[in-house]
Amino acid sequence: MQGSVNKGSHLSGSLVPATRARARASRALWSCLAWLIGTALSVPQAHAAIAYVQKNYAVPQSPQAQVTVPFTGAQTVGNLNVVVIGWNDATSHVVSVSDTRGNAYSAALSPTVQSGIQTQVIYYAAGIAASAAGANTVTVNFDAAASYPDVRIAEYGGISATTPVDAAAGASGTGTTSSVTLATTNANDLLVAGDYVQTSTTATGAGYTNRVITAPDGNILEDRTVTAAGSYSATASLSGSGGWVMQLVAFRAAGAADTQPPTVPGGLAATAVSSSQINLSWTASTDNVGVTGYLIERCQGSGCTSFAQIGTSTSTSYSDTALAASTTYLYRVRATDAAGNTSGYSTTASASTNAAVSPPTAPTGLTATATSSTQISLSWTASTGTLTVTGYRIERCAGSGCTSFAQIGTSTSTAYADGNLTPASTYVYRVRATDSGGNLSAPRAGLPRRQSRAAGSISRGPPRPTTSG
């Protein structure tokens, strides 16, 4: 009865002292919980955790040029598909991996081949499209019917959709254990390993979860997550000693920002090639994801420090042009990656442009002679210059009185044969000299027209010499 009275008093709002004390404690508890909830809501939410979703496999027991495997469950947009492909020969090759939803697949690494025995390769598609259960099928195409193909597929959540692969490695051998080792550069990774063996896989290695051992082939797909960069191995136990290939791929967790800069470019060298050009070269940088280019900076004068960016390059060389003659320039280079991280600066390199020189004189006495219905032969008097004349550039336009010249060839002598021409046509020529400093003569150089250009007409009759004038 006392309990009933207390319950009735509580409902009516008339509390006994003991109940009132409990109410105060309850209010204090709710206040504490409210504070905790508010605090928790104010903390930025963590990125989605790496999660295994589903798997399937196909193991046709006869040679196949195409193998299909469906995802039986629904697929979530943005997830990762992994396809482990093994086959019992060393001559067939995977030519494509695709699926019904049009996701783009790439090889995580080159195929691992055990000579004369077997091959395996791992493909992946990141940032996949959503799919209903059973509505997405993976198709693997080979360039020839592969022996005992074994295709394992798996879906994972929480993986980067833009730069998913952190590292990958493959190995082969003979024994009772398949194994492979790689070094990761990212703190939070999913490690996915698979083997293809001549015996049968019986168990995963330490730290890994067995997602599937195919039947009857006996090849594994296993995985684990790691939370620190370092060296990691994948192993699996075999039923007996035999040949094996194994591959391991480390996939970055979603939201794992790339903050590692490329290494510093090495061996920067600057070489003056003319009075207006300096060529640069250096040793390539490396990066945990990939170097996307180099930023080139320059300042003018020996001992200068006011560097400014003058260009970029996606290779390990750069030509700096339109420079002042007899001038010293100082250069430095740094690498950049897709995340915008930049390396430290290379050591500096300097070079002084060559002294200004006059270009070669214009070739004189240019003549054009039609030697057949399709060929005109040119000859001229040699040019001279302060630097060594290294050759001549031959330019041509079609039609009497034409002016739209285009270079058609070069010559290191004072003659040139222009072939494959149209019969009964007129062509106008001009020649320019070039020297060891890259300087070009003028095609006319202020000389009379007949000395800098010549017209040749091809006829169907006997050849005849023609000079400009």
- The DSSP secondary structure of 129-152, one letter per residue, reads PPB-TT-EEEEEEEEEEESS-EEE
In degrees rounded to 5, what are phi and psi of residue 211?
-90, -35
Domain spans in the chain, listed from the N-terminal domain onward: 2-42, 51-252, 266-352, 364-467
Task: Please give the full DSSP string across 209-268, using - where no structure is assigned.
Answer: EEEEE-TTT--EEEEEEESS-SEEEEEEEEEEEEEEEEEEEEEEBTT----PPPPPPEEE
Strand runs labelled E in 227-381 = 231-252, 266-272, 278-283, 291-300, 308-313, 317-320, 328-337, 349-352, 364-370, 376-381
pLDDT value for 48: 61
Q: What is the mean pLDDT of residues 386-410?
A: 94
Q: What is the mean pLDDT of residues 2-25?
A: 37
Residue 70's contacts (CB-CB under 8 Å, 6 or more residues apart) are 56, 134, 136, 137, 138
For helices 17-42 and 2-12, angle between their N-to-C axes, nearest 10 degrees: 50
pLDDT tens-place string over residues 399-434: 988 999 999 999 999 999 999 999 999 999 999 999
Q: What is the mean pLDDT of residues 227-254?
A: 96
- Say if 266-352 and 364-467 have the same CATH topology: yes
pLDDT of 28 above 50: no
The hierarchical CATH code for the domain 364-467 is 2.60.40.10
What percent of the chain stands above pLDDT 70? 84
Q: What is the mean pLDDT of residues 187-207?
A: 96
pLDDT value for 455: 61
Which of the residue ranges 256-265, 277-286, 402-411 would you say has the lowest mean pLDDT? 256-265
What is the chain's mean pLDDT, rounded?
A: 87
pLDDT value for 386: 85
Report the alpha-carbon distance of residue 255 to residue 95 in Å, rounded.
32
Q: Which two tokens stand for residue 416?
A: 């040139």
Report the alpha-carbon distance of residue 416 to residue 276 in Å, rounded.
30
pLDDT value for 224: 97
The hierarchical CATH code for the domain 266-352 is 2.60.40.10
Q: Do 351 and 270 contact (CB within 8 A), yes or no?
A: yes
pLDDT value for 454: 57
In degrees rounded to 5, what are phi and psi of residue 41?
-70, -25
pLDDT of 12 above 80: no
